[in-house]
Amino acid sequence: MDFILRPWRREDVDDVLRYANNEEIACNLRDVFPHPYIRTDAETFIGSCIAADEEKQLFRAIEVDGRAVGSIALCLGSDVYRMTAELGYWLAEEYWGKGIMTEAVKQICWEGYDRWEDLVRIYAEPFDYNAGSRRVLEKAGFQLEGILRRSVCKRGRVYDSCMYSLLYEEMDPYERALHPHRAQ
């Protein structure tokens, strides 16, 4: 299915409100992603994405057929983690299983590696029970580094989470050749 990654726009509020207000999405994300998801949540989220400093954060809307149906972001670390970025994402449930998120992950990773030339590692920490997100990461080339036992508390229950990472040198060699400015 065709999609584009693009910067967020204020007029995306209605789409975010429509798609993000879903318990099946919220149960797989950090508590900062509320449920129910109301208009002020959408306005605040989009405002923060628009205001983000792209020297440190990349927030992109996932657009299908002119609608913002999801979000994907990279946030560059600081201090000893300054060469690492965290990946986060969500997608409207009706678009799950169509290959959109795997390709969106690949695209944002390339954007991050192109923008931040010192970046060497991108990581994500899905909850252990989130098989769909884990599959997305694996299909995008991420490696499971380990299980973080009893590391998250979601809705009063304690769960394991997973540490996945993608190093620049593990990116697809053909794709890497299209980005010759990066040190090999």
Q: How many domains does the chain have?
A: 1
Domain holding 88: CATH number?
A: 3.40.630.30
Position 64 in a domain: yes
Calpha distance 82→146 (Å, rounded)? 21
Position 183 in a domain: no
pLDDT at 170: 87
Gyration radius from the chain CA atoms: 16
User: Could you list the residue range(s) of the whole structural domain that residue 76 is in?
Assistant: 4-177
Position 128 in a domain: yes
Position 15 in a domain: yes
Position 184 in a domain: no
Calpha distance 10→101 (Å, rounded)? 23
Position 182 in a domain: no
Position 146 in a domain: yes
Sign of CA dihedral 109, 117, 164, 140: positive
Please report, in tens digits, the pLDDT of each residue of the chain (184 residues total): 899 999 999 999 999 999 999 999 999 999 999 999 999 999 999 999 999 999 999 999 999 999 999 999 999 999 999 999 999 999 999 999 999 999 999 999 999 999 999 999 999 999 999 999 999 999 999 999 999 999 999 999 999 999 999 999 888 777 766 665 555 4
Burial class (CB in 10 A: 0-12, 13-18, 19+), 84: middle
pLDDT at 47: 98
pLDDT at 140: 96
pLDDT at 179: 64
Q: How many CB atoms lie within 10 A of CB 63?
A: 18
